[in-house]
Amino acid sequence: MLTKTSGITAQKRLLKEYKQLIKESPEGIVAYPTSDHNLFEWTCFLEGPKDTVYENGVYVATLKFPKDYPLSPPEMRFVPGSILHPNVYKDGLVCISILHQPGDDPNQYESAEERWSPVQSVEKILLSVMSMLNEPNIESGANIDACKLYRDYPKEYEQVIKQGIRKSLGLE
């Protein structure tokens, strides 16, 4: 059951995490509350990791936090259509273990330790997503078409990503 106290606790935690990101943001990551009046929705910019097919791309996403954060994970969604990745649904929703509800996986694919826990943070989420860009998990894909392209036609996959980057930069 949510209480007014849990929402205040979440706001305090989010403010603390935001201040930490301002002070020491990891390279290639910018994240902040979308509005001064709402700490529960953030805008994120992620640079494609160096030496990956995503290098030179800048990817925009949102984080939406539940009122009981950090007990429950936020939802992260890239701007729909802005990124092709095996672990990103076509609507932009990111599918990685760290963003799954805490506890045992009903499908028995992930261990409870891989899933969300209150010790996670915005920074850890964003670093996990950067790692995901570098190392897709095609065994548990969210976008089956991207999984097949990545697995069966890696050169074509890379071409699609590079074309998307050029388009997003206004070069096409």
* Residue 95 designated active-site: yes
Sign of the torsion formed by the C-alpha atoms of 97, 100, 103 and 109: negative
- For the beta carbon of residue 18, count every other beta carbon within 10 angstroms: 16
Give CA–CA dist 136/101, Å, rounded: 20
Strand order in the sheet with 75-78: 29-35, 38-47, 58-64, 75-78
Specify whether the CB–CB gap between 87 and 145 falls below 8 A: no
Give CA–CA dist 107/119, Å, rounded: 24
**From the candidates 95, 122, 129, 146, which is the catalytic residue?**
95
CA atoms within 13 A on the CB side of 158: 8
Give CA–CA dist 164/172, Å, rounded: 9
Any idea which residues carry the catalytic annotation?
Answer: 95
